[in-house]
Amino acid sequence: MPLAFVFAAIAGYADAIGYLRFKAFAGMMTGNTVLMGLAFFHRSALPAVDYATVIAVFFATACVGYAAIRLRCPPLILLIAEGIALLFGQFLGGHRALLSLVIAMGLQNPLAARVGVALNTTFITGDILRFAEGVIARVTPGERGPFAVYGLAWLGYAIGAALGAAGFLFLPWPLLVPITLLFYVYWQVRTGALTISGR
């Protein structure tokens, strides 16, 4: 199973749990930006400042993650940090749990890039557009490139979101599911062409 699918499934799952538990998305900042705009007119579940905080924390965490990549931080460090943030998201209460999920998702795209996944996994609109562009390139003359991975990322996100909703309903600790998927990522990277040490 490609890592793009797994990372996207983790993000879809975390977004579903984030929205169902806290009325904000863990990784989809487009959705949180819309909800922030609605909040100015009292048309969303949280005040605008809460959505602004979520967006700021996601941005800051992504900056930390990309800085870690530039400084050649081993991917294992980012993998452990994402897992710990998901774990805290499960067991912390209230706003702190939401921010912990946001931190996990803010680290995920830099982590995915560090292990060779060259597409977005916490937001999917761009991946759908690239998939559409690839489909058209296949049926018309001109340059062609790989495109199926973008559709696979969307599928992973959709399945992850559905499983997140099911986990929210039926599991006492639903965030243990994406943590388990991070073990799969570790195993894939460890046994694949890349090593988890970053060498």
Give the domain extent around 17.
3-191
The answer to whether position 47 is within a domain reads yes
pTM of the model: 0.88
User: Quick one: pLDDT band at residue 1, thresholds 50, 70, 90?
Assistant: low
The answer to whether position 58 is within a domain reads yes
How many domains does the chain fold into?
Answer: 1
Q: pLDDT digits over 22-71, tens only?
A: 999 999 999 999 999 999 998 888 999 999 999 999 999 999 999 999 99
For the chain, give the mean pLDDT: 89
The answer to whether position 198 is within a domain reads no
The answer to whether position 87 is within a domain reads yes
pLDDT beyond 90 at 95: no
Give me the residue label for tokens 């209460």: 93
CA dihedral sign of residues 163, 165, 171, 177: positive
The answer to whether position 70 is within a domain reads yes
DSSP output for 72-141: T--HHHHHHHHHHHHHHHHHS-HHHHHHHHHHHHHHHHHHHHHTT--S-SS--HHHHHHHHHHHHHHHSS
The answer to whether position 125 is within a domain reads yes
Helix (H, G, I), strand (E, B) or coil at 144: coil
Percent of the chain with pLDDT over 90: 59
The answer to whether position 197 is within a domain reads no
Q: pLDDT digits over 156-194, tens only?
A: 999 999 999 999 999 999 999 999 999 999 888 887 744
The answer to whether position 130 is within a domain reads yes
**Amino acid letter for position 112:** A
Quote the CA–CA distance of 172 and 133 in Å, as a whole number. 41
